[in-house]
Amino acid sequence: MSVKSVSKMSVKYPKIKSDNKQRYYVVFYQNSKRYRLFNGKKINCNLYPNSYPISKRYERAQLLAAEVFKFMTSGLSVEEPIKAYNKSGAVYLSMALDAKLCGDYSDKYKEMLRFVYNGFVPYLQGENITSKDIKSYLSQYVSGVSYNTLKRHLNVLINEARSLGMSSNPMEGFKAKKTKAKLHKPYKEIGAILSELKPYNHNLYLCCLLTYGCLLRPHREIRELKWSDFSDDLSYIHLSGQRNKSGRNRIVPVPTYIKRYTCKRRTSS
């Protein structure tokens, strides 16, 4: 990496701008040359504002601007790409995260990958990622469910890093922890349960009706429902592949006993 003497007094704080695709970037000058950074890769910083939902991108771009300013006032230059860590496991892992964040995955999945990446990086002891680093990171999770979840997402990043050129496989030999299965018994008196829910919380009652009668998932498929997802006569619900777990378009019929409630809700809204 080239390091040049930069006067702190001459460094101006970077500006934040956005393009017509609502992608945010940082603009600044160094050595009379204009730079525009969409992420922190050139300053060896793991910040990717445009991998976030649009509403959060400006906030992340502010963090990137702060990191750029810190980078320049420390006397470093972005005129040459960082080469000192080109073959390190940390850089491969950062590249892997970047590749996954650019993929067509849910925001929740991307957030989990960021969480795993940010949690794992402090455990790196050397230039290469070793099984000892992974063991130190995973050993903090006693729960089998948490252990397996973190291991699975870390494995995704390691596999992506290997596809980008990392030669080692530090995940080799790590097995999932055995967890005891829980027996979930079905409710028999569905009608009685729903009748108790109705006076307690009508919105929850309607959510349960849609779950039971339309086989929709409550976490997103129901929670994010809009009237535009219904047909004109409220007989069908149309969901695109981006709105459900399977990734495929779904058209589900609305039973008559649910339709009368949706009709009332739309009339009153």
- Residue 221 is predicted with a pLDDT of 86
**Torsions phi, psi for 76 (to 5 deg):** -90, 160
The answer as to whether 171 is a domain residue is no
Q: Is residue 226 part of a domain?
A: yes
The share of the chain scoring above pLDDT 90, in percent, equals: 32
* Per-residue pLDDT, 184: 83
* DSSP per-residue letters across 115-129: HHHHHHGGG--SSS-
Say if residue 268's pLDDT is above 80: no
Residue 269 has pLDDT above 70, yes or no: no
Which of 128, 163, 198 marks a domain boundary? 163
- How confident is the model over 212-261, as pLDDT tens digits? 899 998 888 888 888 999 999 999 999 988 777 777 888 999 999 898 88
- On whether both 99 and 158 belong to a single domain, the answer is yes
How far is Cα 181 from Cα 98, in angstroms, rounded to an integer?
35
3 falls in which pLDDT band (50, 70, 90)?
A: very low
Contact at 8 Å (CB) between 211 and 222?
Answer: yes
Residues 49 and 111 in one domain: no
Q: How many CB atoms lie within 10 A of CB 111?
A: 14
Q: Is residue 103 part of a domain?
A: yes
Residue listed under structure tokens 């910083």: 45
Give the count of domains, the chain. Answer: 3
The domain containing residue 136 runs over which residues? 89-163
Q: Does residue 253 lie within any of the structural domains? A: yes
Model pLDDT, residue 117: 93
What average pLDDT score do residues 125-135 get? 89
Does 175 map to a domain? Answer: no
Query: If you average pLDDT over every residue of the chain, what do you get?
Result: 85
For strand 250-253 and strand 236-239, is the pairing parallel, antiparallel, or unpaired? antiparallel
Do 197 and 156 reside in the same domain of the chain? no
Residue 59 predicted with pLDDT over 50: yes
| Structure tokens, 255 | 């039973």
The last residue of a domain, from among 29, 46, 73: 73
Q: Is residue 254 part of a domain?
A: yes
- Check residue 182 and give its pLDDT: 79
Check residue 185 and give its pLDDT.
Answer: 85
Tens-place pLDDT, residues 75-123: 778 776 544 434 578 888 988 898 888 877 878 889 999 999 999 999 9
> Can you give the pLDDT at residue 262?
85
Q: Are residues 68 and 96 in the same domain?
A: no
pTM of the model: 0.52
Question: For 35-58, what is the mean pLDDT?
Answer: 86
From residue 202, give the alpha-carbon distance in Å to each of 189, 221, 227, 241.
19, 18, 18, 29
Residue that wins the pLDDT comparison between 3 and 125: 125
User: Has residue 211 been placed in a domain?
Assistant: yes
* pLDDT score recorded for residue 80: 60
Q: What's the whole-number mean pLDDT along residues 165-180?
A: 85
Whether 68 and 95 map to the same domain: the answer is no
Q: Is the dihedral of CA 212, 238, 225, 201 positive or negative?
A: negative
Residue 159 lies in a domain: yes
> Is the per-residue pLDDT at 56 higher than 50?
yes
